[in-house]
Amino acid sequence: MRALIQRVSEARVTVADEVVGEIAGGLLVLFAAGRRDTAEDLDYLVRKVVNLRIFPDEAGKMNRSLLDTGGEALVVSQFTLYADTRKGNRPSFTGAADPDEGRRWYERFVEALLRQGVHVETGEFGAHMRVALVNDGPVTIWLDSEDRKRSRRA
């Protein structure tokens, strides 16, 4: 499971000229599920998203989490996070979950954030979306649930 998170002062998603999700501040989370993902991958990603200390404290140091700040999350499905560009110039997406499975993981991810007490807005799964954001910092962080497996081996 993968997520690209951006600390934002505002973000919104538009589908067919209609705003379907919008937040004032918090995290824009571009989310993708892989073919071999498990509930452990989901739990890892949710924990990271809500607990990463990437918001400033009183001294301006990145020391507060989404939960600490009461920030919001705008979650947008983006299977292209699984692009494999090692061969040729046309990306392969064979590592991404199939659309039905991807939707289930996306919905479970959103539900898990809600259970953590985060206000969540979403895009529209499978739609052509326009995402607008103001990256605050800028702060952009790549998360991959495979990292939890690698860190156990190290």
Distance CA 147, CA 64 (A): 22
Catalytic annotation, pick one of 69, 80, 85, 94: 80
Distance CA 92, CA 28 (A): 25
What residues contact 94, with CB distance under 8 A and at least 6 apart?
A: 35, 84
Q: What amino acid is encoded at 106 in this protein?
A: Y
Distance CA 80, CA 72 (A): 23
| Known active-site residue 122 | no
Q: Would you please indicate which residues are annotated as catalytic (active-site) residues? A: 80
